[in-house]
Chains A and B, each alone.
Chain A
Amino acid sequence: MGNEAQTPDAAASVDFQEVQQTGQFQELRKRHRSFVFPMAIAFLLWYFAYVLLADYAVGFMSTKLWGNINVGLVLGLLQFVSTFGITAWYVHYSNRKLDPIAAEIRNEIEGHEFDKGSTVRGAAK
Chain B
Amino acid sequence: MSAMVPMVNVAALKDTTLLNVGIFALFVLVTMVIVFRASRNNKTAADYYAAGRSFTGSQNGTAIAGDYLSAASFLGITGAIAVNGYDGFLYSIGFLVAWLVALLLVAELLRNTGKFTMADVLSFRLRQRPVRIAAALSTLAVCFFYLLAQMAGAGSLISLLLGISDWGGQALVIVVVGALMIMYVLIGGMKGTTWVQIIKAVLLICGAAVMTLWVLSIYGFNLSNLLGAAADSAKNPNVLNPGLQYGKTETSKLDFLSLGLALVLGTAALPHVLMRFYTVPTAKEARKSVVWSIWLIGLFYLFTLVLGYGAAALVGADTIKSAPGGVNSAAPLLAFHLGGPLLLGFISAVAFATILAVVAGLTITAAASFAHDIYANVISKGKADAGTEVKVARRTVVVIGVLAILGGIFANGQNVAFLVALAFAVAASANLPTILYSLFWKKFTTQGATWSMYGGLSAAIILIALSPVVSGAKTSMIPGANFAVFPLSNPGIVSIPLAFLLGWLGTVVDKRREDTAKQAEMEVRSLTGVGAEKAVNH
Question: Would you call B517 and A16 a contact (CB within 8 A)?
Answer: yes
Contact with A along B482-508 (1 / 0, CB 8 A): 000000000000000000000000000
Given contacts A2-B386, A67-B224, A102-B527, contact A56 B90 (CB under 8 A): no
Partner of A79, one of B96, B227, B284, B291: B96
**Cβ distance A114 to chain B, nearest Cβ, rounded Å:** 9
In the complex, what residues of B have CB within 8 A of residue A73's CB?
86, 89, 227, 240
In the complex, what residues of A have CB within 8 A of residue B257's CB?
51-52, 55
- Nearest opposing residue in chain B for A64, CB measure: B240
Interface residues of A in 31-55 (CB under 8 A from B): 32-33, 35-36, 39-40, 43-44, 47-48, 50-52, 54-55
Question: Would you call A55 and B284 a contact (CB within 8 A)?
Answer: no
**Cβ distance B355 to chain A, nearest Cβ, rounded Å:** 26
Taking the complex as formed, is B256 at the interface, i.e. its CB lies under 8 A from any CB of chain A? yes
Complex CA distance for A9 and B525, rounded to whole angstroms: 12
Question: Would you call B294 and A68 a contact (CB within 8 A)?
Answer: no
**A-B interface pairs (CB < 8 A), number:** 178
Question: Would you call A3 and B45 a contact (CB within 8 A)?
Answer: yes
* Most chain B CB inside 10 Å of its own CB: which residue of A1, A3, A33, A52: A1
Partner of A102, one of B225, B291, B528: B528
In the complex, what residues of B have CB within 8 A of residue A66's CB?
224
- Nearest opposing residue in chain A for B290, CB measure: A87
Complex CA distance for A14 and B97, rounded to whole angstroms: 38
Main secondary structure of the interface of A (DSSP, over half): helix
Question: Would you call B298 and A84 a contact (CB within 8 A)?
Answer: yes
In the complex, what residues of B have CB within 8 A of residue A90's CB?
103-104
Taking the complex as formed, is B2 at the interface, i.e. its CB lies under 8 A from any CB of chain A? no
Interface residues of A in 98-116 (CB under 8 A from B): 99, 102-103, 105-106, 109-110
Partner of B529, one of A55, A70, A102: A102
Question: Would you call B100 and A43 a contact (CB within 8 A)?
Answer: yes
Question: Would you call B287 and A80 a contact (CB within 8 A)?
Answer: no
Number of interface residues of A (CB under 8 A): 60
In the complex, what residues of B have CB within 8 A of residue A69's CB?
223-224, 227
In the complex, what residues of B have CB within 8 A of residue A35's CB?
104
Interface residues of B in 517-534 (CB under 8 A from A): 517, 520-521, 523-525, 527-531, 533
Question: Would you call A58 and B97 a contact (CB within 8 A)?
Answer: no
In the complex, what residues of B have CB within 8 A of residue A62's CB?
238, 240-242
Taking the complex as formed, is B463 at the interface, i.e. its CB lies under 8 A from any CB of chain A? no
In the complex, what residues of B have CB within 8 A of residue A14's CB?
521, 530-531
Interface size class of B (residues with CB under 8 A): 35 or more
Given contacts A40-B104, A83-B100, A84-B298, contact A58 B516 (CB under 8 A): no
Interface residues of B in 97-125 (CB under 8 A from A): 97, 99-101, 103-105, 115
**Cβ distance B100 to chain A, nearest Cβ, rounded Å:** 5
Question: Would you call A36 and B530 a contact (CB within 8 A)?
Answer: no
Partner of A87, one of B100, B105, B224, B301: B100
**Cβ distance B517 to chain A, nearest Cβ, rounded Å:** 6
In the complex, what residues of A have CB within 8 A of residue B166's CB?
none
Taking the complex as formed, is B243 at the interface, i.e. its CB lies under 8 A from any CB of chain A? yes
Given contacts A16-B520, A36-B104, A43-B100, contact A55 B242 (CB under 8 A): yes
**Cβ distance A5 to chain B, nearest Cβ, rounded Å:** 7
Taking the complex as formed, is B260 at the interface, i.e. its CB lies under 8 A from any CB of chain A? yes
Taking the complex as formed, is A91 at the interface, i.e. its CB lies under 8 A from any CB of chain B? yes
In the complex, what residues of B have CB within 8 A of residue A102's CB?
527-529
Question: Would you call B104 and A105 a contact (CB within 8 A)?
Answer: no
Taking the complex as formed, is B264 at the interface, i.e. its CB lies under 8 A from any CB of chain A? yes
Taking the complex as formed, is A11 at the interface, i.e. its CB lies under 8 A from any CB of chain B? yes
Complex CA distance for A86 and B97, rounded to whole angstroms: 10
Partner of A80, one of B44, B284, B302, B538: B302
In the complex, what residues of B have CB within 8 A of residue A50's CB?
93
Question: Would you call A28 and B531 a contact (CB within 8 A)?
Answer: no
Taking the complex as formed, is B163 at the interface, i.e. its CB lies under 8 A from any CB of chain A? no
Given contacts A51-B257, A66-B224, contact A83 B44 (CB under 8 A): no
20 contacts between A and B (CB under 8 A): A1-B537, A2-B386, A9-B531, A16-B524, A33-B440, A47-B260, A51-B90, A56-B253, A68-B224, A69-B224, A76-B89, A80-B93, A80-B302, A83-B99, A87-B103, A87-B295, A102-B528, A102-B529, A103-B528, A105-B524
